[in-house]
Amino acid sequence: MTREWWKHLVLILGALIVIAPFYTMVSYSFKSPGEIDRGEGGFFGRQELMVDEKCVKLRDPNRDDIAAASARFPGMDDNAIRKALASEAEADCSMRPAVYNYSQAFTQAPLLRYLANGVIVTLSIFALQVVVALPAAYALAKLRFWGREAVFGLVLFCLLIPVHAVALPLYIGLAKLGLTNTYAALVVPWTISVFGIFLMRQFFLTVPDDLIDAGRMDGMSEFAIVWRIMLPTAIPALLAFAIFSVVAHWNDYFWPRIVVTGNRDLFTPPLGLREFKGGADGSMFGPMMASATVIVTPLIVAFLLAQRRFIEGITLSGMK
């Protein structure tokens, strides 16, 4: 330990820089606009009651409100009733900054919808990737057929093509078909994962042939073999691939930015955050960081719970 102290010092300094933006994000999501502005209040802020001006303005009493409330304030003139109502509104509209920020995050923009879209899109992508890749990987690993080497060669060739290079032509194709601003546009381009095919093929090569022959003896069709024998054996590899795929597409910003324009109903979480940022003035920094926290948290929590698997999954491409 005595000889290690300088290493810890260096690593702790590095860790502080790595954590700093996470700290800022979560801390701002708790603080009032004033505290953010003046840079005070520590991590949690002082959580003093604050008044939501917009909410007060919405409840600004008009003539009818005053007339309706006159029964509750007997013997008061209109002005006094107005004042009483205004202070009531103020009391109802005051809340802790943390509550304010998070409730604004969910009400200013349909954040729940964005999160649901994120889940729908990432899960559909993963499911379709498996449906397409698994049978192909099985055929490439375990079946003998003319043209197998050529198909595998094509897979290896396609591995060279970065998805960013096909983004523009795919966008043109989808626009021609009138498919921009649909779930299909968000999902379809990712249905083919050549990396998934490659990975599963390598995995299937290690599965003993006896297992498959036993299935054939039992009269199973090749399709049944793929889904009832190969799929269960491939669970560990699929799990790693699932993490790889879900993390990439939950965080993806480039592709949704291209194919979804303006239609909020289709926004994925990163797009929602961008829109929030576009419309945010100084008073919305807290709510914006609250939505950022909400978007980042699921993956971070999952990562902290299953670190080994996540690291394995995300660095999958490095473990060839």
Partner 1 sequence: MTATDTILSPQQLSAADPARRQRRTAWMLTAPALALMVLILLAPVAIAAVLSFTNYSLGNFGFDWVGVENYDKLLTRSTYAKMFTATFTYVLTVTPISVGLGLGAALLINSLTRLRDLYKTIYFLPVMATLIAMSIAWEFMLHPTIGVVNQTLAKGCGTWVETLWPWLAMHCAEGMPLWLGNRRYAIWVVCFVGIWQGFGFNMVLYLAGLTSVHRELYHAAEIDGARSGWERFRLVTWPALGPTTVFVVTISSIRSFQVFDTIEAFYPIGAGPGKSAYVMMFAIFEKGVEQNLIGIGSAITMMFLGFVLMITLIQRWLVERKVHYG
60-84 residues labelled b (16+ CB within 10 A) or e (exposed): ebeeeebeebeeeeeeeeeeebbeb
Q: For tokens 């073999």, what's the residue? A: 225
Q: Given the complex with partner 1, which of 76 and 192 has the nearer CB atom?
A: 192
**Binding of residue 295 to partner 1 (CB under 8 A):** yes
Segment near partner 1 (CB under 8 A); pick from 48-56, 59-67, 232-240, 245-253: 245-253
Binding residue count for partner 1, defined by CB under 8 A? 95
- Structure tokens given for 313: 């999954």
Residues within window 265-284 making contact with partner 1, judged by CB under 8 A: 269-270, 273-274, 277-278
Residues within window 114-173 making contact with partner 1, judged by CB under 8 A: 131-133, 135-136, 138-140, 143-148, 151, 154-155, 158, 160-162, 164-173
Distance of CA 35 to the CA centre of its chain: 28
Residue 200 near residue 137, CB atoms below 8 Å = yes
Residue 73 near residue 56, CB atoms below 8 Å = no
Shortest reach from residue 91's CB to partner 1, in Å: 30
Task: Give the number of C-alpha atoms closer than 13 A to the C-alpha of residue 63, restricted to the C-beta side.
Answer: 0
Q: Given the complex with partner 1, which of 61 and 256 has the nearer CB atom?
A: 256
Q: Given the complex with partner 1, which of 50 and 243 has the nearer CB atom?
A: 243
Question: Alpha-carbon torsion 161, 163, 168, 174, what sign?
Answer: positive
Task: Among 222, 239, 264, 283, indicate the residue that binds partner 1 (CB under 8 A).
Answer: 222
Q: Given the complex with partner 1, which of 80 and 161 has the nearer CB atom?
A: 161
